[in-house]
Chain A
Amino acid sequence: MVFNLLTFLVDLGTTYALYLAVSLTLNLEAGFAGVPNFGKVMFVAGGAAIAGSVIGRLSVIVLGINVHGDYNAVVPQLIPQIDPLLASNFVLSMALLLLGIVLAAGMGGVMGYFASYPAIHLREDYLGMLLLAAAQLFQIFLGGWTPFINGTQGIEVPDLFHWADVGVGVRDAVILVFLAAFAFLVYVYVERVARSPLGRTLRAVRDNEVAARALGKNDVVIRRDVIIVASAISGMAGALLTFYAGAVGAETWTRITWTFWIWVMVIMGGAANNGGVALGAFFFTLLFKVVDQVKFYFSGYIPFDVNWLEYMSFAALLILILAFRPGGILPEKSSLTLPWRTVAEIVQANQRSPVRTDQPTEPLGGERRSEADRPG
């Protein structure tokens, strides 16, 4: 086997971008809001499946190709017809891509709502169990309902990036840029949420539900919204993976690949710390890809499939992290509010404003500041 560094790096980057996006959403749920989502795979797979299923059919209709017989059965013959047409029509390709992502986001969001609804009023262990069971069922459903994505055999998906297929590796590079941009946007979004008052509310709900409720925060609504948003983003990531891989099937999505590994990334990096999760996802992806590269050299010496050893070692790694460094590589930082001195300076600056006379009759900024200005 020839080891090609550039191919390896592009592959690493693509996988990292996808895993980063999904692990950040899990961090939003589990790290910040304290919602243990043990059914992550369901939302990623849902997005991937609907994007693969609908976009393929839609492109056939838009391009006016006649389908003889069942779409799923003839799609391998259709793809060579669709791809060149899509390649010559950049705008249509991108429109379909966008539509696929939006569809996947919608699917993820709706599934998040329905999956979380029964258990959200209950404690985290019930929620975890329900989501795990629902994910297992969804997998069975994907494998069983053949009209959707042809069950476990899967279907091919038209290549929306065929216009970039002008040289060796150009398509992969373009997709890498796309996914990197997506992951970056997700990072910025999650980081902004984490630093906003909403982020502090999420932590409050996580740390002390009763106190948060007493302060007028509706913990049920907050948790539900977090699940919906995170699931929608996960669905988008699933759709992007489908378009990158060019096929979607029920076998890709297992509890191990898209729930357990994502959890390893979050725990390894540090829950409720986005930078840590980014680091954790990177280390995990690197480890995973390197093991992928070298494991075939060992396969002659070990009397069993190396994959099993990989499962065990990642499980052991996770348990060791939980035991010896439960905070991860970068543990959660407490969110800092402004120091008292700064607050006092701001208040004083307002008091010294030109409008101000001896009597605090008309403070500058409405009710809230007048409350703060009042001495004592």
Chain B
Amino acid sequence: MAIGLTLTYLTTKVPNFAYGSFVTIGIYTSYTLYRLDALNPYLSTPIAFLVGAVSSVGMYLGILRVLARRGSSLVALMISTLALDIAFIGIFGIYTDNLYNHYQLIDSKSFYQLGGDFTLYGVPGLTYVAPISLGCITTILFILLTQTKFGIAMRASVENPSLARVVGINVEKTYVFAWLLAGGFAALAGSFYTLALPGSVDSGSKLIVEIFSASVLGGLASIYGAVLGGLIIGASEILVTDAGTQLFGSWVLVYQKGIPLVIMVITLLFLPQGLVSIDWRNLPRSVSSINLRKIRQMVRRR
């Protein structure tokens, strides 16, 4: 999930508060297909990816780009993504009401985890599939960004849009593609989510703490950082909660979400540029992009 947020942040420099909604889109795509067509959530992931990608691109082209071209400030763009998040909650509400009325799905508002997961050696299949798909996504992204011409163009337009334009890269096209990937990944994560955890209309919005923490920990400016951040946040949340439950009892479970926030605060205090700023092959790249962004911002403010 954090990969997508970082992608959108890289292209538009706006933290996307509506990002959790794309996760919800994935959750509900899987839910609907499972309930109505009894489609296994694994099989519905490509559809979820598509739906999420389309709505993400729609959001970027239809609203954010329009606002950005009209010269909205950063805060205005942030608030517009918050508005979109609210609008998405409204859309999900209407959608689930319709499911309830037309198909008598009484658990449409909040449901327990869906069936359909297989077990392998007594462990749910998701424990294998999720890491493998994460590995695949990261590898594909890595190959795309470093080996293909389009990926290099994408990186160029992220790092220096004006120079990329001069060279003849269609910057807009790469941005749209980044948003497409972002929405798709979020929906993909959402559709995996249904296999393991109960879902509801606002489960995406509730995930925003983890998503932000993972991205900030990863450094917001690096996709690889986001992968690392997501892993650390997810693992630490589960490990620390498990240890806490054993030490203090089950009441610790409620405050599970506190862990990502604490990590985020620590990151911001000691390592504001995220994990990638410690030691990473791409250190010069991330530093230079951050400096550029600061300079650009100063210029814009003036």
Footprint of B on A, CB under 8 Å? 30, 34, 36, 38, 118-119, 121-126, 128-130, 132-134, 136-137, 140-141, 143-145, 207-210, 255-256, 259-260, 263-264, 267, 303-305, 307-312, 314-316, 318-319, 322-323, 326
- The CA-CA distance from A136 to B302 in the complex, in Å, is 34
Q: List 26 A-B contacts (CB under 8 A).
A: A125-B13, A126-B272, A128-B15, A132-B17, A132-B208, A133-B212, A133-B264, A140-B255, A144-B254, A255-B82, A256-B89, A260-B82, A267-B79, A304-B94, A308-B89, A308-B90, A308-B97, A311-B86, A311-B93, A312-B86, A312-B91, A314-B83, A315-B90, A319-B84, A322-B76, A322-B79
- The CA-CA distance from A144 to B279 in the complex, in Å, is 39
Q: Note all chain B residues with C-beta closer than 8 A to A132.
A: 17, 82, 208, 212
Q: Which one, A145, A267, A308, A326, contacts B70 given CB within 8 A?
A: A326
Inter-chain contact A118/B268, CB cutoff 8 Å = yes
- The CA-CA distance from A122 to B273 in the complex, in Å, is 10
Inter-chain contact A315/B75, CB cutoff 8 Å = no
Q: Note all chain A residues with C-beta closer than 8 A to B268.
A: 118-119, 122, 126, 130
Q: Is B14 an interface residue, CB under 8 A from the partner?
A: yes
Per-position 1/0 for B193-226, Cβ under 8 A of A: 0000000000001101100110010000000000
Inter-chain contact B208/A322, CB cutoff 8 Å = no
Q: Is B257 an interface residue, CB under 8 A from the partner?
A: yes
User: Known contacts being A119-B268, A130-B264, is A323 close to B66, with CB within 8 Å?
Assistant: yes
- The CA-CA distance from A259 to B264 in the complex, in Å, is 21
* Chain B proximity of A191: nearest CB distance (Å): 22
Inter-chain contact B208/A133, CB cutoff 8 Å = yes
* Chain A proximity of B129: nearest CB distance (Å): 28
- The CA-CA distance from A111 to B67 in the complex, in Å, is 33
Nearest CB to that of A209 among chain B residues? B301
- The CA-CA distance from A121 to B265 in the complex, in Å, is 12
Nearest CB to that of A303 among chain B residues? B101
User: Known contacts being A322-B79, A323-B67, A326-B76, is A133 close to B213, with CB within 8 Å?
Assistant: yes
Q: Note all chain A residues with C-beta closer than 8 A to B90.
A: 307-312, 315
Nearest CB to that of B20 among chain A residues? A136
Q: Note all chain B residues with C-beta closer than 8 A to A304.
A: 93-94, 97-98, 101
Inter-chain contact B84/A315, CB cutoff 8 Å = yes
User: Known contacts being A129-B15, A133-B213, A304-B93, is A118 close to B269, with CB within 8 Å?
Assistant: yes
Which of B13, B213, B216 has its CB near the most chain A CB atoms (within 10 A)?
B216
User: Known contacts being A36-B78, A132-B17, A208-B302, is A118 close to B209, with CB within 8 Å?
Assistant: no
* Chain A proximity of B130: nearest CB distance (Å): 23
User: Known contacts being A208-B302, A304-B98, A312-B90, is A318 close to B272, with CB within 8 Å?
Assistant: no
Q: Which one, A119, A144, A311, contacts B87 given CB within 8 A?
A: A311
Inter-chain contact A318/B80, CB cutoff 8 Å = yes
Known: A118-B268, A132-B212, A264-B83. 11 other contacts (CB 8 A): A36-B79, A122-B272, A129-B212, A129-B216, A137-B258, A144-B255, A256-B86, A303-B101, A311-B90, A312-B94, A314-B83
- The CA-CA distance from A205 to B276 in the complex, in Å, is 30
Q: Note all chain B residues with C-beta closer than 8 A to A34.
A: 75
- The CA-CA distance from A172 to B135 in the complex, in Å, is 61
Inter-chain contact A318/B265, CB cutoff 8 Å = no
* Chain A proximity of B128: nearest CB distance (Å): 30
Per-position 1/0 for B155-186, Cβ under 8 A of A: 00000000000000000000000000000000
Q: Note all chain B residues with C-beta closer than 8 A to A145.
A: 254
* Chain B proximity of A153: nearest CB distance (Å): 14
* Chain A proximity of B266: nearest CB distance (Å): 8
Per-position 1/0 for B251-266, Cβ under 8 A of A: 0001101101100110
Nearest CB to that of A115 among chain B residues? B265
* Chain B proximity of A319: nearest CB distance (Å): 5
Inter-chain contact A126/B97, CB cutoff 8 Å = no
Inter-chain contact B255/A38, CB cutoff 8 Å = no
- The CA-CA distance from A312 to B92 in the complex, in Å, is 10
Q: Quick one: which of B49-89 are within 8 Å of A by CB?
A: 63, 66-67, 70, 72, 74-76, 78-80, 82-84, 86-87, 89
* Chain B proximity of A227: nearest CB distance (Å): 15
- The CA-CA distance from A305 to B109 in the complex, in Å, is 12
Nearest CB to that of B260 among chain A residues? A133
Q: Note all chain A residues with C-beta closer than 8 A to B15.
A: 125, 128-129
Q: Which one, A124, A208, A312, A319, contacts B80 given CB within 8 A?
A: A319
Q: Note all chain B residues with C-beta closer than 8 A to A316.
A: 83, 87
Inter-chain contact B98/A322, CB cutoff 8 Å = no
- The CA-CA distance from A103 to B297 in the complex, in Å, is 40
* Chain B proximity of A301: nearest CB distance (Å): 13
Nearest CB to that of A267 among chain B residues? B79
